[in-house]
Amino acid sequence: MAPKKSALIQLLQIALGVFFGVLVTVFAYQVRERIRGQKVMYGQWRKLNLILDQVERNYVDTIDFQGMTDAAVTAALAELDPHSVYMPPVEKQESDSQLAGNFDGIGIQFNVPNDTAIVLEVIPGGPSEKVGLLPGDRLLKVDDKVIAGVGFPQDSMVRRMKGPSGTKVTVTVKRGREEIPFHITRGKIPVHCVDASFMINDTTGYIRLSKFSRTTYTEYFEAVTRLVAQGMNHLIFDLRDNTGGYLDQAVLLANDFLDKGNMIVYMEGRRRARLEYSADGRGTMRILPLTILINEGTASASEIVAGAIQDNDRGVIVGRRSFGKGLVQEPIDFSDGSGIRLTVSRYYTPSGRCIQKPYDVYGSDIYDRYADGEVFSADSARLNKEDIHYTVGGREVYGGGGIMPDVYVPIDTTRASSLFVNCNRKASQMRFASWMFDTYTAKLREIDSFEAMDAFLRQVRLPDRFKEFIRTRDGITAPESEWAETLPYLEPQLNALVARYSKLGENAFYKYYLPIDETVKIAVSTPAFPRDL
């Protein structure tokens, strides 16, 4: 037995030797290939390193190394695609806060109708509400800096009022004839992405979504559940001018409408394997009639939702051709607070469409849509008729340049009367709304229902008040015939701007403005399933 056992041990030793020999050879090959790859990579970037080294050694003046590095990185990424970008620390922090669902600040929304910022909304529970700021307050100073009446940029106002939680800022406002300083301790402010949600009529609900932030699905679900409880059996989901955001939120939202197994989106890239997302069948709105509104400002994550609904023949898309962004960015953060957003893959709708438009049209695409007449007629749309795909129901859809709606709604140019143009040029409507708030401050602050707002608007006779306002303040007059022509679309705008100053906020603005929104009017009257078109 001993010789056999010895032979077996020798055989095992030989096998192990061969195994480890192969392993070492493979490892050595991988190391050699990695070193070779690094040498190739170093060789490709060597010129940049040599140039920077020569600048450091020989340049005549003191060098701003940070500025040069930022400029070099920005220029290098610009050679890739329009969405691969470098963000310095301040810019990155601003970008992150817009999508995070909250930011540090004082908790107000304002606009600047006439060189003075006016508070539109004081966010409930925020720092400004706690110290007593009110809608309609005029912002005069932030700390010792005068910001009213001096042409102070709006984005600079925002930066001065924002700051880390726990820090203090003094905001001086004008309320009536008084100037009041408010000492505010900044805190975490929620950023809402559902701009408005309400019932348009007894059966049709409306939700407007501005972006896909970390809280998007939660906000959407709360809104849609509330509308269903109010009797909604048709949802108009407004994604116009929604520039996108987080992919996972778009997937969660689309999942709520689709049956199990329906594909939502798939992605792949040179260094990224194909990754598919499909519905899990647990969505709560799978049978709810659905209409999605899009336009040339609808991009990225919002196009993923629209594409998934269209390709699965789950709802009807109404509006104009979307932006055309079919690229996925991955954030890469650096220790100094800066970072890059690097395009790592393309996404494809369920039918296989990549809706990314050509890079060389980015600077002129929207202008071209006007110049070519596309925004006025679907027949002028530039569609790639060679890149044909099919929905699950067999309808033709096209890749390369955004999502073409099922029902096209051109821009209405018939409303541009001279009276309307003159008022818009002087922002008369916004200034009038501010004046109405000053006149009826106490009353507007009490209104918390649409019934009460309807009664108030009838009582104050807005059109007559506006006619007198622009005559005395702006020197604008018009024949009665032009007033009659303009009033049907001017009065809803005035109603919306004034109602916004009540407790109803943005819901009131959209509720009163939608009657002159042609896309919404068509969406209400159009069947909500493609098979019925």
Which residues 6+ apart lie within 8 Å of 447 measured at CB?
453, 456, 499, 502, 503, 504
Q: Clarify whether 165 is annotated catalytic.
A: no
Instruction: For residue 431, count other CB atoms closer than 10 A to its CB.
Output: 19
- Contact between 513 and 493 (Cβ < 8 Å): yes
Provide the mean pLDDT of the chain. Answer: 87
Pairing of strands 327-333, 339-348: antiparallel
C-alpha–C-alpha distance, residues 62 and 52, integer Å: 14
- Contact between 256 and 305 (Cβ < 8 Å): no
Q: What is the pLDDT of residue 102?
A: 64
Give me the residues paired with residue 277 across strands.
Answer: 265
User: Looking at per-residue confidence, does 504 or 363 come out higher?
Assistant: 504
Token pair listed for 486:
């303009």
Q: Looking at the predicted structure, is the pLDDT value of residue 335 above 80?
A: yes
Token pair listed for 73:
């990185």
Of 128, 213, 278, 300, which is the active-site residue?
Answer: 300
- Contact between 396 and 390 (Cβ < 8 Å): yes
Give me the residues paired with residue 348 across strands.
Answer: 266
Share of the chain above pLDDT 70, in %: 90
C-alpha–C-alpha distance, residues 480 and 468, integer Å: 13
The three-state secondary structure class of 25 is: helix
Q: Looking at the predicted structure, is the pLDDT value of residue 320 above 50?
A: yes
Of 137, 238, 311, 406, which is the active-site residue?
Answer: 311
The mean per-residue pLDDT over the stretch 415-423 comes to 86
C-alpha–C-alpha distance, residues 223 and 198, integer Å: 8
The mean per-residue pLDDT over the stretch 497-509 comes to 91
Q: What is the pLDDT of residue 14?
A: 52
The mean per-residue pLDDT over the stretch 248-270 comes to 97
Q: Clarify whether 333 is annotated catalytic.
A: no
Segment (H or E) for 400: none
- Contact between 348 and 265 (Cβ < 8 Å): yes
Of 211, 325, 467, 511, which is the active-site residue?
Answer: 325
Q: Give me the phi and psi of 123, to 5 degrees please.
A: -65, 125
Q: CA-CA distances (angstroms) from residue 419 to 430, 462, 484? A: 15, 16, 11
Confidence of residue 508 (pLDDT cuts 50, 70, 90): very high
User: Looking at per-residue confidence, does 164 or 315 come out higher?
Assistant: 315
pTM value is 0.83
Confidence of residue 283 (pLDDT cuts 50, 70, 90): very high
- Max mean pLDDT among 82-86, 100-104, 113-117 falls in 82-86
**Torsion over CA: 15, 17, 18, 20 (sign):** positive
Nearest one of 206, 395, 409 to 295, comparing CA atoms: 409
- Contact between 279 and 260 (Cβ < 8 Å): yes
Confidence of residue 266 (pLDDT cuts 50, 70, 90): very high
Q: Looking at the predicted structure, is the pLDDT value of residue 2 above 60?
A: no
Q: What is the pLDDT of residue 101?
A: 59
C-alpha–C-alpha distance, residues 38 and 33, integer Å: 8
Q: What is the pLDDT of residue 264?
A: 98
Q: What is the pLDDT of residue 305?
A: 98
- Contact between 114 and 427 (Cβ < 8 Å): yes
Dihedral of CA atoms 528, 531, 532, 533 in degrees, nearest 10, equals: 90
Q: What is the pLDDT of residue 297?
A: 93
Q: What is the pLDDT of residue 16?
A: 46
The mean per-residue pLDDT over the stretch 131-160 comes to 86
Confidence of residue 131 (pLDDT cuts 50, 70, 90): confident
C-alpha–C-alpha distance, residues 236 and 318, integer Å: 10
Q: What is the pLDDT of residue 400?
A: 79
Which residues 6+ apart lie within 8 Å of 374 measured at CB?
320, 321, 368, 380, 381, 382
Q: What is the pLDDT of residue 469?
A: 95
Burial class (CB in 10 A: 0-12, 13-18, 19+), 258: buried
Nearest one of 413, 409, 423, 410 to 491, comparing CA atoms: 423
Segment (H or E) for 166: none
C-alpha–C-alpha distance, residues 469 and 114, integer Å: 15
Q: CA-CA distances (angstroms) from residue 406 to 47, 265, 291, 306? A: 51, 19, 10, 11
Three-state SS letters, 244-257: CECHHHHHHHHHCC
Token pair listed for 281:
């069948």
User: Looking at per-residue confidence, does 157 or 469 come out higher?
Assistant: 469
What DSSP designation does 443 have?
A: H
Tens-digit pLDDT profile for residues 7-25: 555 555 554 454 444 444 4
Q: Looking at the predicted structure, is the pLDDT value of residue 104 above 90?
A: no
Q: Looking at the predicted structure, is the pLDDT value of residue 198 above 80?
A: yes
Tens-digit pLDDT profile for residues 457-477: 999 999 999 999 999 999 999
Q: Looking at the predicted structure, is the pLDDT value of residue 391 above 90?
A: yes
Q: Looking at the predicted structure, is the pLDDT value of residue 43 above 70?
A: no
The mean per-residue pLDDT over the stretch 206-216 comes to 94
- Contact between 311 and 391 (Cβ < 8 Å): yes
- Max mean pLDDT among 76-90, 143-157, 252-266 falls in 252-266
Q: What is the pLDDT of residue 29?
A: 45
Least trusted range by pLDDT, from 76-85, 93-102, 305-314, 507-516: 93-102
The three-state secondary structure class of 79 is: coil
Domains by residue range for the chain, with CATH = 102-190 (2.30.42.10), 194-411 (3.90.226.10), 418-520 (no CATH)
Q: Clarify whether 311 is annotated catalytic.
A: yes
